[in-house]
Amino acid sequence: MALFMINRYLGEEEDGECSESRSRALLAKLQERAKAREQQSISNIADKDDGHKGNIKEKKGKPGPQETKETQQKSQRRGKQARKTDLADEGVVLIKKRKKFSLCDESAKTGDDEPDNEKCAEKTAEKTEGDVEKSKDFETDVNQQLDELHAEKDASQTGLHILGGFEEKTEQKVKRVLPQWLAQPDVIERDIKGNLVPVNEVPGICPVLLKKLKANGIQNFFPVQAEVIPAILNSVSSELLVGPGGYRPRDICVSAPTGSGKTLAFVIPVIQALSKRVVCEVRALAVLPTKELAQQVSNVFSSYAEGTGVKVVMIAGQKSFAVEQALLSESRGGVCCSLADIVVATPGRLVDHINKHNNFSLRHLRFLIIDEADRMIDSMHQSWLSQVTKAVYRCQGDPQMSVFRRILPGPITVSSLSPPQMPLQKLLFSATLTHNPEKLQLLDLHQPRLFSSTKTSTDGDTQNQESFQFPQSLSEYYVPCTLNKKPLVILHFLLRLKFSPVLCFTNSRETAHRLYLLVKFFGGVVVAEFSSRLSPNERQRTLKDFEQRKIQLLISTDAAARGIDITGVKCVINYDAPQYIRTYIHRVGRTARAGKPGLAFTFLLNVQEKRFLQMVLDAGSPGIQRQIVQPESLKGMEACYEKTLVEVGKTVKEENAKKRS
């Protein structure tokens, strides 16, 4: 009952073992105090009874022993009844009741059979004046205990249980904390034209490569090249076998806008480092996500390796597996010899050669270049990186008996540094490099160093979405339109506004093919498509014709969105709005390259506007403008457009019928 009254006093206490245990503890504490008060009160009354009994003896004589025992038993019974009184009603009232019973007992001792209540009250008032202060103290103690329990209840309602006290504490927000190399990168200037550096002023470049650069029309380096090239060259200043000071060199990550010159930033130092080699072995491996991008990087490597003796081989599936095997190695007198110093590969084809080509060795690999690193991280399910690592540290023979050995990196000890072994250095490049440490951990980077065009913010409130750097010379627009009017708007740009050449992106190859047929049947525009429907050779010819201005409109899937450097693209059109910000950045990055101006248009349906605009602005876009195409501008083409739609429908049905047959 007392436990119920305490909970009722506190309000609606939360059910549970914790709440019940606190209430029981307080009840026990109050009961102990009540017993102590009662014993003290009984002792005081007993002292007063002794004096009162002396006066009675003078008047009535000495009572018998039987009467004394009965009186004591009666007093004990009444004391037990008083202790069973509800604890919540105790306090001043409880003490007054006990005094009243004591006085009534005294009346019984004097011989009064029926003590008057008024007399008991008068005697209580007379004899308990000194106990009133004690009752007030007891009431104060009870209130304090109840207030403490009530405060504990309030603290528990906040969801934060504080051990050791009832003081209130505010829960602090968890802030985003990045590793130091991500939070404090080496900042690269974003303005390309205003921060050009003459090639002669960049330290460490050999005269042969300086001559090649000038022969290719490169007089100045872009900011990313001027920063990254010396950093990579510094890591090979002690030759290939060891890093600076005999230690393993730091891995390098580069995050810079599209068209800022990242490819040349790793081609120049790698060519220079390998030009001093004596025996031909695979010492540099560049992994890229698509065949077209692999072909482009291979061409750049071959251009600057000419005349240095460094050999470049591409394995991307454009040639048969047997032909690629012959390009990588050959047998001389029963001994297998490598024919490649630099291998440019796609992940799938690379894994095939590691597992099926016995003479393909990566035990001498010094540089692992991962271009479009964010997409390569997403393709880790292919386990290509773990396969490369196993191939690099694959032991042949007794490693303790050989002069050259490679073991998996571990703690630096005297044993690990003697004899020295060739380190494996990773070089990562991307326009949209993730800042997620969990994803970057998959790459197993060693003391990485980040070069970035923007400093990373660690404010948790502003990091709902990562921000990126857009090309400074890019002008962004969005065009509100309906689903049926989108092809007419493209025709309007090409036929009326004379935009050429235009690179148009769709979200699927089916959409790309239908749009290609529609523009082709409409007439007046030289159009081509670029998707997985075409063979690698056909795609290569299409890109070449587009660069030579033989094609006005190239309709592509995202196969051409990453890394492809198409010369002279002045306008990019997103026929289908991209769903992800990285896709948008890479699409519009096909124009406004190397500081040249470029235009980007995105066709948006009414339901897409709000989400897309918010996504682009959150990613750090300097501003995207609204461009309205008036309906009057499209009226002259509507009749021909309707006839073309019918023709496209027939063609698509015929193509589908051929596929089924």
Strand partners, 368: 285, 426
* CB-facing half-sphere around the CA of 118: CA atoms within 13 A: 0
**In this structure, what DSSP letter does residue 334 have?**
T
Q: Give the per-residue pLDDT at 73.
A: 56
Tell me the Cα Rg of the chain: 44
For 223-278, how does the pLDDT look when each residue is reduced to its tens digit (9 = 90+)? 999 999 999 999 887 766 666 666 789 999 999 988 899 999 999 999 999 998 88
User: Would the CATH topology of 180-397+419-456 be identical to that of 474-660?
Assistant: yes
Could you tell me whether strands 197-198 and 220-221 are parallel, antiparallel, or unpaired per DSSP bridges?
antiparallel
* CB-facing half-sphere around the CA of 331: CA atoms within 13 A: 4
Within 10 Å of residue 23's Cβ, how many Cβ atoms? 18
Domain residue extents for the chain: 2-157, 180-397+419-456, 474-660
Quote the CA–CA distance of 366 and 421 in Å, as a whole number.
10
Q: Are 223 and 265 in contact (CB under 8 A)?
A: no
Q: How far is CA 629 from the centre of its chain?
A: 39
Extract the tokens encoding 169: 């504490």
Reading across the β-sheet that carries 252-255, which strands appear in turn? 186-187, 449-452, 252-255, 425-430, 367-371, 284-287, 342-345, 312-315
Q: Per this entry, what is the length of the chain? A: 661
Q: Are 592 and 598 in contact (CB under 8 A)?
A: yes
Q: Are 306 and 363 in contact (CB under 8 A)?
A: no
What does 256-295 look like in DSSP terms, one character per residue?
A: --TTS-HHHHHHHHHHHHHTT-SS----EEEE-SSHHHHH
Q: How many angstroms separate the Cα of 551 from the Cα of each of 220, 526, 555, 560, 562? A: 32, 5, 10, 15, 20
Extract the tokens encoding 113: 């059979």
Matching CATH number, 180-397+419-456, of 3.40.50.300, 2.120.10.30, 2.40.37.10, 3.50.50.60: 3.40.50.300
**In this structure, what DSSP letter does residue 195 have?**
G
Residue with tokens 């102990």: 32
Strand partners, 474: 598
Q: Would you call the peptide bond into 419 cis, given omega within 30 degrees of 0 as the criterion?
A: yes
Quote the CA–CA distance of 336 and 622 in Å, as a whole number.
56
What is the sign of the dihedral through the CA atoms of 514, 518, 521 and 524? negative
* CATH number for the domain formed by residue range(s) 474-660: 3.40.50.300
Within 10 Å of residue 625's Cβ, how many Cβ atoms? 8
Helices H / strands E in the chain, number of each: 22, 19
Extract the tokens encoding 99: 């005094």
For 145-188, how does the pLDDT look when each residue is reduced to its tens digit (9 = 90+)? 556 655 555 555 555 555 555 555 566 666 767 888 988 899 99
Q: Give the per-residue pLDDT at 93.
A: 45
Residue type, 174: V
3-state secondary structure of 40: helix
Strand partners, 315: 345
Within 10 Å of residue 559's Cβ, how many Cβ atoms? 20
Quote the CA–CA distance of 254 and 433 in Å, as a whole number.
8
> Does an H or E element contain 24, and which?
helix 17-60
Extract the tokens encoding 150: 């009530």
Q: Are 29 and 87 in contact (CB under 8 A)?
A: no
Residue ranges for the chain with pLDDT beneath 70: 1-23, 41-174, 176, 239-246, 379-382, 395-405, 410-420, 455-466
Q: Is 328 exposed, middle or buried (0-12, 13-18, 19+ CB in 10 A)?
A: buried
What is the sign of the dihedral through the CA atoms of 57, 62, 66 and 69? positive
Q: Give the per-residue pLDDT at 382.
A: 60
Buried (b) or exposed (e) across 46-64, using 16+ Cβ within 10 A? eeebeeeeeeeeeeeeeee
What is the sign of the dihedral through the CA atoms of 562, 563, 568 and 571? positive
Q: How far is CA 228 from the centre of its chain?
A: 26
Torsion of CA 345, 254, 561, 526, to 10 degrees: -100
Could you tell me whether strands 252-255 and 449-452 are parallel, antiparallel, or unpaired per DSSP bridges?
parallel
Residue of 453, 375, 428 whose CA lies nearest to 252: 428
pTM, 2 dp: 0.71
Q: Are 507 and 578 in contact (CB under 8 A)?
A: yes
Q: Are 368 and 336 in contact (CB under 8 A)?
A: no
